[in-house]
Structure 1
Amino acid sequence: MEIPIQKIEDLRSKAEAEARKLYSGSEDQVLDDIDYFKRSIFILGVEFAITTLLK
């Protein structure tokens, strides 16, 4: 089964948009939160890939 890279990219874009909406703080805080969301989504993608490959 192929890993849905486009779906991961879509989730990453949504996370960036959510971070910008949720925080009206400093730009640095927003960028830090976006980085956190990107790492979280990347980890979810890796977990999905591993579980898919192990099936």
Structure 2
Amino acid sequence: MKTVKININTINDVKNFVSIVSRCDYDVDIVSGRYAIDAKSIMGIFSLD
């Protein structure tokens, strides 16, 4: 497992990030506080604060 901190500030950042991680053959998760969501889910990312 690898942990990387990222900052996503704009809608375009979200689109670009999801586009990049969608090409990965492995699971990618985003953890924000007590929430963990699938990083390949644009709706999941938008649901975070």
The structure whose residues are more often helix, as a share, is 1
Shorter-normalised TM range: 0.3 to 0.5
**Structure whose alpha-carbon radius of gyration is higher:** 1
Q: Which has the higher contact order (CA 8 A, sep 6+)?
A: 1
